[in-house]
């Protein structure tokens, strides 16, 4: 028998875990036999060790790390829609760790490191592309913020530096770095570790790997209430209480742990246990062009012009902007978004004048007062939050899942998420990350 740490043994373990391989050879070998299901679902069980509300990348990552890192496999992920149908399928797939506060930089750096090895961990090509990330500065004030971020990044060991127009042009020749535009490019924060990843592959990779470890996923299963007892408020809700179960559109289950991994509905789920969250929900619009030959080798962001753009491996340009100014659940695309976007992009890259936008979409962003998430335990025993991600959710999923799983399994709040617990708002311990937003809001 091969020694347990050897490559042969690792490959055997991987084969046992993922019997359905997707190579051409496997397709031939399989012939007409049906593929085994990659998810576990069926009827809801009467009880679970943990119930995760929200089958997006955060919920699935949390379930995966509970199972893989802590052996907690009697877990159900519930989603009222379908897996990855919320923010996980509606983002612009940018990953980076060039934040403004030491707490934020350390946190997102861990996420990026997990993303870098995710294909190996999940045995699925998630198309991670480390291509560098440029945040352009068009004013002295913006340059000052970039220098500040670069210094904080370096202190935490993250690779970022401020570069001038000549170096920007060398990295991204399509950018107009002349004096001609109304807002000339004065410099940029260059962050080589940043890049993009295939968002739906990440969702399905986590879902499949979690299922292989025993986690159940239940789609079209809405959480109608979270049962608690012993709380200060009516019906045993509120601080001081503890979670006992969830009522769903498909029946009741008992559980001592509920994890709120929703976006858009985070406040609603929290209200079910008698908690109020400082969150307002805004749509964020994005758009994609027809595919063209690869010409954009880095992610480019302009906070002042309210736009970020990257090119997928298929050649499409993916654009995003700021969140819409009014709090709403309306996710319809608007003409003014497309017009503003086009005007701003053309200031940056005048050569794109003949490109056609193919589609636009939007997702819901739960904004907190300090633009940092709410993650960790709450005053209701057993009720955990992984919410309030604003426009930073997708890039944080691996670290949020990993650290929250550790928190649930050990009962201790890990150092990386300690700055982001709900009690910081009452304590005045805000972690201001507005200045690290891709675009001004």
Cα separation, 374 vs 383, in Å, equals 12
Q: Out of 392, 402, 404, 433, which residue is the one contacting ligand PYC (CB under 6 A)?
A: 392
Is residue 290 within 8 A of residue 316, CB to CB? The reply is yes
Q: Concatenate the DSSP letters of all residues of 246-282 into one string.
A: EEETTEEEE-S-EEE--SSSHHHHHHTTT-----EEE
Cα separation, 75 vs 163, in Å, equals 47
Q: How many CB atoms lie within 10 A of CB 71?
A: 10
Give the single-character DSSP code of 351. G
Smallest gap from Cβ 99 to ligand PYC, in A, equals 9
Task: Indicate the residue among 92 and 111 with the shorter CB distance to ligand PYC.
Answer: 92
Give, rounded to a whole angstrom, the gap between the first and last alpha carbons of the chain: 59
Task: Indicate the residue among 65 and 308 with the shorter CB distance to ligand PYC.
Answer: 308
Smallest gap from Cβ 397 to ligand PYC, in A, equals 13
- Of 84, 93, 97, 153, whose CA–CA distance to 128 is shortest? 93
Task: Indicate the residue among 259 and 439 with the shorter CB distance to ligand PYC.
Answer: 439
- Beta strands 299-302 and 133-137 are parallel
SS3 state of residue 309: strand
Smallest gap from Cβ 73 to ligand PYC, in A, equals 33
* Count of residues of this chain found to bind ligand PYC when the rule CB under 6 A is applied: 9
Return the C-alpha torsion angle 406, 407, 411, 417, nearest 10: 130
Task: Indicate the residue among 197 and 275 with the shorter CB distance to ligand PYC.
Answer: 197
Q: Kindly state whether residue 287 participates in binding ligand PYC, applying the rule CB under 6 A.
A: no
Cα separation, 202 vs 407, in Å, equals 22
Q: Kindly state whether residue 115 participates in binding ligand PYC, applying the rule CB under 6 A.
A: no
Binding range to ligand PYC, per CB under 6 A, among 90-98, 136-144, 170-178, 407-415: 90-98
Is residue 374 within 8 A of residue 421, CB to CB? The reply is yes
Q: Kindly state whether residue 308 participates in binding ligand PYC, applying the rule CB under 6 A.
A: yes
Q: Kindly state whether residue 391 participates in binding ligand PYC, applying the rule CB under 6 A.
A: yes
Task: Indicate the residue among 94 and 317 with the shorter CB distance to ligand PYC.
Answer: 94
Is residue 51 within 8 A of residue 257, CB to CB? The reply is yes
Q: Kindly state whether residue 96 participates in binding ligand PYC, applying the rule CB under 6 A.
A: yes
Is residue 187 within 8 A of residue 146, CB to CB? The reply is yes
Task: Indicate the residue among 112 and 226 with the shorter CB distance to ligand PYC.
Answer: 112
Q: Kindly state whether residue 438 participates in binding ligand PYC, applying the rule CB under 6 A.
A: yes
Smallest gap from Cβ 402 to ligand PYC, in A, equals 20
Smallest gap from Cβ 433 to ligand PYC, in A, equals 9
Q: How many CB atoms lie within 10 A of CB 257?
A: 20
Q: Out of 94, 259, 263, 407, which residue is the one contacting ligand PYC (CB under 6 A)?
A: 94
Q: Kindly state whether residue 118 participates in binding ligand PYC, applying the rule CB under 6 A.
A: no
Q: Kindly state whether residue 193 participates in binding ligand PYC, applying the rule CB under 6 A.
A: no
Q: How many CB atoms lie within 10 A of CB 81?
A: 14
SS3 state of residue 377: strand
Smallest gap from Cβ 322 to ligand PYC, in A, equals 9
Q: Out of 88, 92, 260, 312, which residue is the one contacting ligand PYC (CB under 6 A)?
A: 92
For 407, the enclosing helix (H) or strand (E) is helix 393-410
SS3 state of residue 189: strand
Smallest gap from Cβ 53 to ligand PYC, in A, equals 23
Binding range to ligand PYC, per CB under 6 A, among 57-65, 74-82, 92-100, 206-214: 92-100
Cα separation, 398 vs 326, in Å, equals 30
Cα separation, 75 vs 257, in Å, equals 10
Q: Out of 187, 195, 238, 320, which residue is the one contacting ligand PYC (CB under 6 A)?
A: 320
Smallest gap from Cβ 437 to ligand PYC, in A, equals 6
Q: Kindly state whether residue 199 participates in binding ligand PYC, applying the rule CB under 6 A.
A: no
Binding range to ligand PYC, per CB under 6 A, among 17-25, 77-85, 91-99, 137-145: 91-99
Binding range to ligand PYC, per CB under 6 A, among 64-72, 77-85, 88-96, 113-121: 88-96
Cα separation, 317 vs 252, in Å, equals 45
Task: Indicate the residue among 76 and 203 with the shorter CB distance to ligand PYC.
Answer: 203
Binding interface with ligand PYC (CB under 6 A):
92, 94, 96, 308, 320, 391-392, 437-438
């Amino acid at each position: 028998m091969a020694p347990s740490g050897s490559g042969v043994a690792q490959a055997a373990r991987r084969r046992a875990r993922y019997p359905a391989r997707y190579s051409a050879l496997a397709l031939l070998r399989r012939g007409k036999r049906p593929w085994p299901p990659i998810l576990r679902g069926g009827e809801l069980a009467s009880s679970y060790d943990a119930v995760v509300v929200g089958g997006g990348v955060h919920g699935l990552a949390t379930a995966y790390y509970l199972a893989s890192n802590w052996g907690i496999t009697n877990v159900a992920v519930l989603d009222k829609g379908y897996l990855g149908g919320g923010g996980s399928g509606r983002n612009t797939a940018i990953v980076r760790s060039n934040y403004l506060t030491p707490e934020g930089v350390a946190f997102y750096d861990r996420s990026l490191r997990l993303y870098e090895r995710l294909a190996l961990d999940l045995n699925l090509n998630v198309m991670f592309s480390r291509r560098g990330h440029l945040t352009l500065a068009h004013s002295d004030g913006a340059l000052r913020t970039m220098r500040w971020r670069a210094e904080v990044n370096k202190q935490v060991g993250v690779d970022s530096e401020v570069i001038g127009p000549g170096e920007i042009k060398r990295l991204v020749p399509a950018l107009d770095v002349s004096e001609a535009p109304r807002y000339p490019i004065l410099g940029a924060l260059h962050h080589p570790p940043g890049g993009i990843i295939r968002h739906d592959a990440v969702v399905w990779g986590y879902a499949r790997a979690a299922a292989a470890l025993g986690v159940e996923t239940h789609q079209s299963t809405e959480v109608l209430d979270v049962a608690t007892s012993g709380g200060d408020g009516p019906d045993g809700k509120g601080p001081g209480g503890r979670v006992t179960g969830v009522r769903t559109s498909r029946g009741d289950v008992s559980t001592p742990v509920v994890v709120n991994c929703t976006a858009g509905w985070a406040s609603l789920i929290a209200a079910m246990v008698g908690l109020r969250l400082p969150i307002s929900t805004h749509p964020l619009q994005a758009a994609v062009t027809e595919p063209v030959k690869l010409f954009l080798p880095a992610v480019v962001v302009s906070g002042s012009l309210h736009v970020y753009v990257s090119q997928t491996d298929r050649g499409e340009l993916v654009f995003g902007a700021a969140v819409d100014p009014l709090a709403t659940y309306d996710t319809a695309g608007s003409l003014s978004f497309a017009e503003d976007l086009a005007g701003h992009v053309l200031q940056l890259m005048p050569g794109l004048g003949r490109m056609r936008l193919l589609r636009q979409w939007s997702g819901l962003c739960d904004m907190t007062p300090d633009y940092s998430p709410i993650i960790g335990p709450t005053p209701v025993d057993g009720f955990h939050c992984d919410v309030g991600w604003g426009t930073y959710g997708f890039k944080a999923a691996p670290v949020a899942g990993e650290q929250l799983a550790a928190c649930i399994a050990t009962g201790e709040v890990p150092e990386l998420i300690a700055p982001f617990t709900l009690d910081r708002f009452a304590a005045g311990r805000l972690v201001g990350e507005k200045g690290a937003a891709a675009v001004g809001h």
